[in-house]
Amino acid sequence: MNVNAIREQFPILHQHINEHPLVYLDSAASSQKPRSVIDAMKKYYESDNANVHRGVHTLGSRATDAYEGAREKIRAFLNAKSVQEIIYTRGTTTALNLVAASYARAVCGEGDEIVITPMEHHSNLIPWQQAAKATGAVLKYIPLQADGTITLEDAQRTITDRTKIVSIVHVSNVLGVINPVKEIAAVAHRYGAVMVVDGAQSTPHMKVDVQDLDCDFFAFSGHKMCGPTGIGVLYGKKELLEKMEPIEFGGEMIDFVDLYESTWKELPWKFEGGTPIIAGAVGLGAAIDFLQEVGLDAIEAHEHKLASYAYERLSAIAGTTIYGPGPRERAGLITFNIEDVHPHDVATVLDTKGIAIRAGHHCAQPLMRWLNVSATARASFYVYNTEEDVDRLADALHQTKEFFGHAIG
């Protein structure tokens, strides 16, 4: 993989921030976009723009072809059986909310169980809290080990024949933990439960095959995988989606409308009420082309190398705590704190040096409480990052520590 050639394709990276060349280490929050994605969206608006599924005119059919063509790219990318299993959403959050609002409310009753983990992003936690409240179901947690991982044994102990839904993050946005979702799906199925996977942090960085994982639902966001904001996907097995009711009603999703009754279109459109995010779908299709051209295996290996190097450099800074498992078991991000320096101060000082990292609770407040911190700093890597970026980060952290050490002392 030629990182320099890849970097050339990302216009935003070639700028100075606070008089330093930009080092972007916040891709877990949102990734940057290659020129091919920007150009595909520009071309769509400049030459093909119209509404989909309705116009008989040429632009209408071009827009429909672009929108549905991107759906086929997504199907192939995930190895789903059918495009009917690919529902466009605004992102992971909307996709998970759809399952919680439609599927969970239909299948859960008093005393049934929904099983998640304490490492979930709020988007894979609050929808289930709400579904549990609405149905009388019980929310149960697979406990975390000391290093933040979960074990299959604990999953087996937590999932019971009252469990209707198991919903787990594939890769944690805080700990970098890669969860054994395929194995947990097998346990869930043994008890007759469905397996939902929050793929927001896995889909951009590793090969995902929904048939191999045998998950029932899988959610992800375009903006974390070189695509635009405002577009994401819910994959669902056709037989489950067919039984589910839509949660948004209006144009686009109907078949027949009468004064008091209406019927819905077939899959996937019954879940896509209103004019969809057409340019977003086009951009996501272009992002998938880009990722496949580079190769997901190469991307994963590159990030793993960077995260291992970062782990080594950051753990050499005295007073630094790195959260989550060791470098061999983690995805391409490092969450950490420096003793006596608030993570917001760390991120602010780094920004003065042109380095963008994230600081805060990372939309995982229960996990912060488990870690016994209110916030952390996080550096996350992607296809365009280099070892030099890691060096700039580590050097700047040394300086930050010294600066605050002197200020405190």
User: Which positions lie near ligand PLP, rule CB under 6 A?
Assistant: 91-93, 121, 123-124, 169, 173, 198, 200-201, 221, 363
Task: Name the minimum Å distance from CB 32 to ligand PLP.
Answer: 15
Decide whether 203 or 400 has the Cβ nearer to ligand PLP: 203
Q: Which of 376, 363, 375 is nearest to 123 (CA)?
A: 363
Residues designated catalytic? 363
- What 3-state DSSP class applies to 174? coil
Phi, psi of 278 (to 5 degrees): -65, -50
Stretch (H or E) spanning 360: strand 358-360
Decide whether 195 or 349 has the Cβ nearer to ligand PLP: 195
Decide whether 92 or 135 has the Cβ nearer to ligand PLP: 92
Stretch (H or E) spanning 86: strand 86-89
Task: Name the minimum Å distance from CB 28 to ligand PLP.
Answer: 6
Q: 287 with 227: CB under 8 angstroms?
A: yes
Name the pairing type of β-strands 20-21 and 16-17: antiparallel
Q: How far apart are the first and last CA of the chain?
A: 46
Phi, psi of 142 (to 5 degrees): -75, 125
Q: 48 with 63: CB under 8 angstroms?
A: yes
Q: 361 with 394: CB under 8 angstroms?
A: no
Decide whether 116 or 355 has the Cβ nearer to ligand PLP: 116
Strand partners of residue 218: 197, 235
Task: Name the minimum Å distance from CB 378 to ligand PLP.
Answer: 10
DSSP string computed for 116-163: E-TT--GGGTHHHHHHHHHHT-EEEEPPPPTTS---HHHHHHH--TTE
Decide whether 123 or 337 has the Cβ nearer to ligand PLP: 123
Distance from C-alpha of 210 to C-alpha of 251, rounded to nearest angstrom: 30
- What 3-state DSSP class applies to 353? coil
Task: Name the minimum Å distance from CB 151 to ligand PLP.
Answer: 20
Q: 346 with 338: CB under 8 angstroms?
A: yes
**For residue 260, what are the contacts with CB-CB under 8 A and spacing of at least 6?**
none
Torsion of CA 80, 242, 227, 174, to 10 degrees: -90
Task: Name the minimum Å distance from CB 336 to ligand PLP.
Answer: 17
Task: Name the minimum Å distance from CB 198 to ligand PLP.
Answer: 5
Decide whether 117 or 337 has the Cβ nearer to ligand PLP: 117
Decide whether 91 or 324 has the Cβ nearer to ligand PLP: 91
Q: Which of 263, 337, 279 is nearest to 51 (CA)?
A: 279
Task: Name the minimum Å distance from CB 165 to ligand PLP.
Answer: 16
Q: 92 with 221: CB under 8 angstroms?
A: yes
